[in-house]
Chain A
């Protein structure tokens, strides 16, 4: 009888992880539908579905759906998934809740590269997305190289990352102060993160990247159950620690870079998703899929709040996530120091 306790416990934990994933998935779908139907011009859910399927709908519905709301809701979901997954990968690989791409400078790398493209070289479109990705990858490689000492450990990586992020932020500020006010306003999206006014050429590269990187992260992420226990035990379990960490960090950096290129560095989504997902799943299991779904939900809900619930003014999604995330960061710093972890 008691011999079954291992199986029972394991099944209970697996079931909870699965249930959380399913519930989050349903919540994302529901929020996605709400984002498509709700607004100054209400579209009924049947009309939403009809329009998506290309069937005839009342006048104006197709335009609002396909040109305004669908791109906005899609980019919300995609950036949310990408940031959520990237953040969870970073935090679990480096075993530190502060090690998220938006805290350690990777997102700033994408931002600075994007700003240079838009403001200095006057380019836009696909080349900006490519630049954002390159910016993120180059920044991450720089952090990796500078913190390398016979392998990459958590703290050094984070501190070097925060330092590099600060340098990049000042470069971005310098470029903005030197530019024309009107152009600078346009560049604001790169600073706060917004899902408004995105067009399909900006969205599709991110969708393709996710199609490749999400499954890749879930497959490679299998090693996290070993790596969570530290490099020594992961090695003892037969994990190639440095190789696995490098491969997964590259996946995470690409996710963060692509998402930043599509919608700017939506503050704290990467930072908050993993811990929220871990809290929901409970136990000590690594959470990747759940963190990605939490990210999508965070962006959808925050954009909904920013555009409909804060009176007559509309706020970009990054402002809302920033307001939610900043207290969490402070709380984490305050409590982490007490228990001797984190920062």
Chain B
């Protein structure tokens, strides 16, 4: 069972600028949480704060009830993994080597690489469908392959909690679905608590057990997407008129944006 992770009156910012303000939130353990919101709403900052990549201006992040910033970083790394946005691979590194870096915390001053590590790396490559690429340099891969390799690296760390910042950026729609399926697999097979910051609203509504909608550094609404969403909330958060219809595949809400053009005669507001 993964440890609990929660924010308690958490404020985050860079320098004088406050981005997340006095936010309290319990991330449901063993569920898939997806955070959405317009650009600059603070969702990535919030994720970085939860992963102790950014020290809080005030308040705290609690892992298993203990402040994450006063817990030794190594201990946190055994429980919580994060894949930041747009990581950069060293020139010439092979897929195997990159994914092996995810085992860093399991190595010690005196603990050498073991068959457990090989097994974890192999399992991560298999889960992401990148095992055939194992011997290739990362530079030579396509964007979709590279993204899956980074996810494999995060999986190799084998943490109960996994935070991912926009893991589907640069991916075409089929690869986006593939990545979210993969993370759902992980959640179902291992009970991993998965927290994803995502841009794609319809996929977020479909894949989230728990959806968090943020605006201006605060949570507008959070919960099961079928229960907490309506067109007014989404329209307000994103500053755009829209309708929510039923996604016929997943029975979750699906957003239909309304712009100034291409609005048909059947629509009363056109």
**Which residues of A line the B interface, CB within 8 A?**
2-3, 5-10, 13, 219, 222, 225-226, 228-230, 232-233, 235-240, 278, 282-285
CA–CA, A228 and B113, complex, Å = 19
* B66 touches A (CB below 8 Å): no
Contact B101 A236 (CB under 8 A): no
Q: Which single residue of chain B is at the shortest CB-CB distance from A5?
A: B134
* B183 touches A (CB below 8 Å): no
- A3 cross-chain contacts in B, Cβ below 8 A: 122
CA–CA, A233 and B113, complex, Å = 20
Contact A228 B90 (CB under 8 A): yes
- B6 cross-chain contacts in A, Cβ below 8 A: none
CA–CA, A2 and B96, complex, Å = 13
Contact A284 B134 (CB under 8 A): no
Contact A282 B92 (CB under 8 A): yes
Contact A13 B97 (CB under 8 A): yes
Stretch at the interface among B76-84, B141-149, B243-251: B76-84
B101-129: which residues lie under 8 A (CB-CB) from chain A? Answer: 101-102, 104-105, 107, 109, 113, 118, 121-122, 125
Contact A10 B157 (CB under 8 A): no
* B240 touches A (CB below 8 Å): no
Query: Known contacts being A6-B121, A10-B100, is A229 close to B78, with CB within 8 Å?
Result: no
Contact B97 A284 (CB under 8 A): yes
Contact B53 A284 (CB under 8 A): no
Contact A13 B105 (CB under 8 A): no
Contact B89 A229 (CB under 8 A): yes
Q: Which single residue of chain A is at the shortest CB-CB distance from B139?
A: A284
CA–CA, A240 and B104, complex, Å = 13
What 10 pairs across the A-B complex have the smallest Cβ distances? Answer: A284-B93, A238-B77, A284-B90, A238-B74, A237-B104, A9-B96, A232-B84, A238-B105, A5-B134, A9-B135
How far apart are A340's CB and chain B's nearest CB, in angstroms? 11
CA–CA, A230 and B85, complex, Å = 11
CA–CA, A7 and B81, complex, Å = 24
A-B contact pairs, 28 of them (CB 8 A): A5-B122, A6-B96, A6-B122, A7-B118, A8-B135, A9-B97, A9-B134, A13-B94, A226-B101, A226-B104, A229-B101, A232-B48, A232-B84, A232-B87, A235-B51, A235-B52, A236-B81, A236-B83, A236-B84, A238-B76, A238-B104, A239-B73, A282-B92, A283-B92, A283-B97, A284-B89, A284-B91, A285-B97
- B137 cross-chain contacts in A, Cβ below 8 A: 283
Contact A238 B96 (CB under 8 A): no
Given contacts A225-B101, A237-B104, A240-B73, 9 further A-B contacts (CB under 8 A): A9-B96, A229-B101, A230-B87, A236-B77, A236-B83, A237-B102, A238-B73, A238-B75, A278-B92
- A278 cross-chain contacts in B, Cβ below 8 A: 92
Tier of interface size on chain B: 35 or more
* B27 touches A (CB below 8 Å): no
- A284 cross-chain contacts in B, Cβ below 8 A: 89-94, 97-98, 138
CA–CA, A284 and B105, complex, Å = 19
Query: Known contacts being A10-B118, A238-B77, A284-B94, is A233 close to B84, with CB within 8 Å?
Result: yes
How far apart are B50's CB and chain A's nearest CB, in angstroms? 12
- B96 cross-chain contacts in A, Cβ below 8 A: 5-6, 9-10, 13
B16-51: which residues lie under 8 A (CB-CB) from chain A? Answer: 48, 51
- A225 cross-chain contacts in B, Cβ below 8 A: 101, 104
Contact B134 A236 (CB under 8 A): no
Q: Which single residue of chain A is at the shortest CB-CB distance from B121?
A: A6
Contact A5 B135 (CB under 8 A): yes
Q: Which single residue of chain A is at the shortest CB-CB distance from B98?
A: A284
B142-172: which residues lie under 8 A (CB-CB) from chain A? Answer: 157
- A237 cross-chain contacts in B, Cβ below 8 A: 77, 101-102, 104-105, 157
How far apart are B15's CB and chain A's nearest CB, in angstroms? 8
Contact A239 B104 (CB under 8 A): yes
Contacting residue for A2 out of B81, B87, B91, B131, CB 8 A:
B131
CA–CA, A225 and B98, complex, Å = 9
- A8 cross-chain contacts in B, Cβ below 8 A: 135
Q: Which single residue of chain B is at the shortest CB-CB distance from A223?
A: B104
CA–CA, A282 and B97, complex, Å = 12
How far apart are B89's CB and chain A's nearest CB, in angstroms? 7
- B98 cross-chain contacts in A, Cβ below 8 A: 284
Q: Which single residue of chain A is at the shortest CB-CB distance from B52?
A: A235
* B1 touches A (CB below 8 Å): no
- B89 cross-chain contacts in A, Cβ below 8 A: 229, 284
* B189 touches A (CB below 8 Å): no
CA–CA, A285 and B89, complex, Å = 11
CA–CA, A228 and B90, complex, Å = 7
Contact B53 A236 (CB under 8 A): yes
- A228 cross-chain contacts in B, Cβ below 8 A: 90, 101
Query: Known contacts being A236-B77, A237-B77, is A10 close to B104, with CB within 8 Å?
Result: no
How far apart are B204's CB and chain A's nearest CB, in angstroms? 23
How far apart are B191's CB and chain A's nearest CB, in angstroms? 21
- B78 cross-chain contacts in A, Cβ below 8 A: 238
Contacting residue for A6 out of B48, B90, B107, B118, CB 8 A:
B118
- B97 cross-chain contacts in A, Cβ below 8 A: 9-10, 13, 283-285
B172-193: which residues lie under 8 A (CB-CB) from chain A? Answer: none
Query: Known contacts being A10-B118, A229-B89, A229-B90, is A236 close to B135, with CB within 8 Å?
Result: no
Query: Known contacts being A219-B109, A236-B53, A284-B93, is A5 close to B104, with CB within 8 Å?
Result: no
- B102 cross-chain contacts in A, Cβ below 8 A: 237
CA–CA, A187 and B9, complex, Å = 62
Kindly name the residue among B48, B73, B131 whose own CB sees the greatest number of chain A CB atoms within 10 A: B73
